[in-house]
Structure 1
């Protein structure tokens, strides 16, 4: 959203974003942009001006938490225990993905997309950029060859596997701990 927009455009953006957050929480990443526009009381053209693609909408919905996760990675960058710092950050990513309906599916689409595919958005790129320094620092404690992409794929897979579990975050955390033995036996 541009800050130079008219007041009604800013209101429409905020309203569309609020409705989208609820719709994605209820329906996942495939929530209908047209239905979101109808619920917000605006035309689909207005919705498309603000969010030209589904992933532009998803990016806007997930932006605040992605920013928080990126900040957390920076805070952990100098942690004395590189392995613990990486696992702490991955746990945060996993808790967010496991408890935010639609995020794991959106990340999974990003991971499997060909470069330049229209549904690619920056959540995966931002998480990759945030986690790469932590992964590099922890490399001596990891199984050789493990990359941040591998780790984000594992987290995404765990989140997808636990999405409908009644205690998704707890089950996801349990599965992450089981997985850690395979990526970092130390």
Structure 2
């Protein structure tokens, strides 16, 4: 094994600086190629693992923005990661429509549904389906009202759509 490794290392191009790579623990120079390369990669992996330990961050349920009720972003504020368009496409590709619905609607913008999902999960009940307006839309309506603009809106749901279709048939 050792002779094969030596032949491989002789054929591979590597920086000559590794021949005299300093060993941090023993404070001396490493003279063999194998030990120099091994020591170099061990220190490199230790540094990468150390950086990963600092970067790991997760969020289960943390604070939400008071105005828009969106999840707060950023590690310093104990927020979560943003789910962008490409992440949504990747999740769609794996066929996890219910998880996407939860992430993009209930957990991100709906005050009552967020609490009801938590209760349903704890008690093992069915998650309710909400056809309410998101809080961000309500904020938009309030901002328009502050500009003296009235916005009349109604929520189109499956139930409303069926009622309208029946009215058309009867005429």
Fold conserved between structures, TM > 0.5: no
TM class, shorter-length: under 0.3
TM-score (norm 2): 0.26
TM-score (norm 1): 0.25
**Which is greater in Rg?**
2
